[in-house]
Chains A and B, each alone.
Chain A
Amino acid sequence: MVMLNKPARIFGALGFAAAIALAGCGQKDDAPTTKGGPVSLRRLTEPEYRQIIADVFGTTIKVPGRFQPDTRDNGLIAVGTSRESVAGTGFEEYDLTARGIAAQVVDEAHRDTLIPCKPAKATERDDACATQFVTRTGRLLFRRPLTKDELANIVNDAGDSTAKLGNFYSGIESSIVGMLDSSQFLFRQEASIPDADNAGQRKLDPYSKASRLSFFLWDTTPDLDLLDAADKGELDSDAGVAKQVDRMVKSPRLASGVRAFFTDMLGFDGFAALQKDPQIYPKYGSAVAVDAQEQTLRTLADVLVTQNGDYRDIFTTRRTYLTRLLGSVYAVPVKVSTGWEAHDYPEGDPRAGILTEVSFVSLHSHPGRSSPTIRGKALREIFLCQKVPDPPGNVNFALVQDTKNPAFHTARARLGAHINQPTCAGCHKIMDPVGLAMENFDSAGGFRSTENDSPIETAGEIDGTKFSDVNGFKKAIHDHPAVPTCLVNRIYSFGTGRPATKDEAEWLNYQVKQFAASGYKVPELMRRIAGSKAFYRVSTPGTEANNAKLSMAGTGSQKETAK
């Protein structure tokens, strides 16, 4: 994340002029009531892990190594983390990363700023100093104060390590590894308490609330102010929550939360393994891929946070941000030789809006050519929350291919063959016309008006709205009723780490209406969700039996034999 590049910030300092006009605190919550969902146990994602380390220890601490890959569920990695655990290999990587971080924190360049005291003797244990460090760091890493026992154990283990290795800082180093390897850091483990205002119902405890709030709005661990509020019991009341939400939504750090959400929703993790054929697309490379993601995130942050604009305008905005490298892909001259430059496309330019930016069209293409089918599927799943069924098994594609015919020149011609086959038509009809509208953009994001010397037609129809070209298509998406509904659903899921329940449908509909009434303003939507009761309500835990063994397909298949 590029927005916040300030060095070593152990939180606490804040307070800026509000960039966003708010309706004011203490909104009247006349939303339908919900029963809530289960408490979640979410593994930190790689971006969250990195952001926390930067916030707690500063951006000069490098986060080395690889991470166990995140998986996507119901459209979001945020939901995938609620069903993920850690594999042996994955834990090996976490441990390697933790050791790399710990070694830097205690090295001579950092120890004086990051460790709040000096030991009496550098070669001996100093429990008082270790206690100071562990209390403070542990609170930020575990997102709650350490228990007495936890603190005593960590300090004692640090002392033991110091004794073995003859160095106070080696002891501190191993205490950091222990905390970073702990499930209390790697998982966001939520807990619930009875809801005093509603007999029989439960809600999140204050520290779980603080975490949900902080990761949702700022994409990081709770800061000291938020933890203090939890300590003092202020998060028990709606007014206390509203106060914190207000503070956090007004902070420039909200942009980090917005960027994190869209990074997840747009599937940018897919860029890690995205490849383009260098002979066909010589301009495309990993530097372009990095800039392309940042271009879209800057566009989103500009429209949604800086301008506090209409969410739907992301599909049509003529303002974008370019580097010189991206300029060469889009054939736009860029004055600055390094860094970013704002650029406004002229009225009617086909490159306006995020759908035809490199980040979308290249991510949803083959390595050597575009794919209207993949793009159509992606657009429906990402922005409209529609599930496109997979093609059925044992379908004979032979009918599609006539060996006597010369090659079809354009994708439209090739896909026309599918559309005319009843077995394929059902699904291809909902994907292809949408994707064909973006055919002016090749697999690497370059603009073209022909394919194999035949002109590209981009007219089509989506869900009853006809369009004549790519800009008409973008307008149709802008006005598509599923677009705001989908966003509200996704952003709620992102915050709670689970798909919305059926019981929450009415509440979500209410939020969609509020979103529309606000002029589709995303910060206001996030404020409403973060300030709502529904966001923290917890359903009664289920009573499934615990089965910690390896789960194997087939019931009753384990023989009662001794190994």
Chain B
Amino acid sequence: MSAMSASRRNVLRGMMGGAAVSVGLPFLDCFLNTSGTALASGAPLPTAFGTFFWGCGLNPGRWEPAKTGAGYDMNIETAPLTPFKNRINTISGMKVFLDGKGARPHFTGEMAILTGDVPREQPNYASLDSIVADTIGTRTRFRSLEVTGTGKPTDSLSRRSASVTNPAEISPAALYTRVFGADFADPNSADFKPDTRVMVRKSVLSGVSEQREALLKQVGAADRQRLDEYFTAVRQLEQQLDIQLHKPEPLAACSKSDQPTDALIGTEIDNVVANHKLFAQILAHAVACDQTHVTNVVFGEATSPLRKPGTAMTHHIYTHEEPMDPKLGYQPNATYFMGRIVETLAMYLATLDSIKEGDHTLLDRTMMLAHSETGFAKIHALENIPMFICGGANGKMKMGQHLKLDGEPVTRVGLTIQQSLGVPVDSWGTMSLNTSKPLGELMI
């Protein structure tokens, strides 16, 4: 590795001495066809992967479709998703196995779905999106982008390991600056000149990277992995700078999103939804401009703190303390928030669908896992957790089906996604959550 780093650095030094630089990257080597639907070679545009998480579930009986298989209709609480139903797989009935470990409300479910494991204390494994990003997202400026709607960067569920969480952006304006600020190179711009300052920055990071081999030897086995994760992060930034030093190939569907003005960041539902609208625009344009292939949206903290202004109650408190309305058969205040969340999911899908790429849309090449962490929040149920796979999946998965899989482990969904996206894995999950059975109905 050290020999490699050294030569990388020498190459860079050589490059800096010279003038224009154009060392092609695999994807960028190719040219798009004239309609912008595929690369010149005929290969489709890359698949985008996303997650959309919300806390406190949906009401049992009001979200699962009546019919299974293809051609199903959405139920009451998922009605806003109807325009996309042919590009959504609804998966109901799945559960989390605890194997004698205690359930930690609002934590256990999300961990099981995303890391395939029920941790006793801290998370133990990488999350699904990181695993996928290592297969489909290694040649973009950002390995992945994370956002959350209720103001806490630590609510991100994206993690590379037990020791590394990818913190979430809480401000659309900050996300915009990161993606479309000064470092953004418009792929459709006519002139491009590599920036000497970027070359110097890359050289500084190469200097840091070169210490890797020697420093890893200095620490014990347990810390070696953590230190190596740090060096991976350094490499990622080097790679990001490397991409900035190359002229990007044109992308017909790429344009900057509008410069956003944040709504007040917090837990008031109208503001949370307003900020998600801004996030959705930025993330969709970031994918369209090939800045990333993986996006992770947390609607809000799992113990859902959403509230209407002037009320003492939050969505989470309502789910536990609000009486069931005997006539309606559900908790009307808690259900109000669920409605806003599903509408927001529909808004994200509509935003992706609004970006046209020839005859198709960005949604068509997106696979997005939308899920909660509990079934019936009132009792912290770890069964019948709402899960949806949304988008056209770039033709990598059969879409538009309702699978009712009572009592099956939630990890089958994660395994199916990994295999569909080309992650070389044949089983996933720990203990009773371990599975080697993808959802055959969805596999191509």
Contacts and interface: CB of A to CB of B under 8 A. Distances in A.
A397 B124 contact: no
B140 to A, nearest CB: 11
B61 interface: no
A196 interface: no
Contacts of B124: 551, 553
Given A368-B314, A548-B228, A559-B426, A277 B307 contact: yes
A39 interface: yes
Interface string A162-194: 001100001000100110011110110101000
Interface in A531-563: 541-548, 550-554, 556-559, 561, 563
A553 B208 contact: no
Contacts of B85: none
Contacts of B210: 153
Contacts of A237: none
Interface in A268-327: 272-273, 275, 277-280
B381 interface: yes
A403 B323 contact: yes
B390 to A, nearest CB: 24
A369 B381 CA distance: 26
A191 B218 CA distance: 8
A367 B267 contact: yes
A263 to B, nearest CB: 17
B102, B200, B205, B227: which has the most chain A beta carbons within 10 Å? B200
Contact of A553 (B160, B381, B428): B428
Main secondary structure of the interface of A (DSSP, over half): loop
A369 B312 contact: yes
Nearest to B197: A165
A91 interface: yes
B188 interface: no
A277 B126 contact: no
Interface string A151-169: 0011001001100110000
A432 to B, nearest CB: 15
A393 B103 contact: yes
Interface stretch (B40-48, B163-171, B255-263): B163-171
A393 B98 CA distance: 10
Nearest to A405: B323
B226 A84 contact: yes
Given A395-B380, A552-B425, A554-B116, A86 B230 contact: yes
Interface string B214-237: 010011111111111111111011
Nearest to A160: B203
B79 interface: no
B98, B134, B201: which has the most chain A beta carbons within 10 Å? B201
B104 A390 contact: yes
Contacts of B200: 161, 164-165, 170, 174
A422 interface: no
B376 to A, nearest CB: 9
A197 B59 CA distance: 67
Contact of A178 (B207, B224, B317, B381): B207
Contacts of B422: 563
Given A91-B230, A178-B208, A550-B161, A280 B310 contact: yes
B187 interface: no
B160 A396 contact: no
A553 B104 CA distance: 19
Interface stretch (A65-73, A337-345, A352-360, A477-485): A65-73
B165 A71 contact: yes
Contacts of A154: 207
A368 B314 CA distance: 8
A12 interface: no
B371 interface: no
B39 to A, nearest CB: 19
B326 A403 contact: yes
Contacts of A206: none
A87 interface: yes
Interface string B285-306: 0000000000000000000010
Interface string A79-108: 000011111111110010001000000000
Contacts of A389: 102
Interface string B245-271: 000000000000000000000110000
A554 B427 contact: yes
A277 B102 contact: no
Nearest to B232: A88
11 contacts: A68-B167, A164-B200, A174-B204, A182-B208, A183-B208, A273-B152, A392-B103, A397-B320, A547-B225, A552-B116, A553-B115
The 5 A-B pairs with the shortest beta carbon distances in the complex, nearest first, are A393-B103, A368-B312, A553-B116, A91-B233, A279-B310
Given A183-B208, A367-B267, 14 more contacts: A84-B163, A85-B161, A85-B226, A86-B164, A88-B232, A181-B205, A369-B312, A394-B380, A395-B379, A541-B221, A551-B161, A553-B125, A557-B426, A559-B424
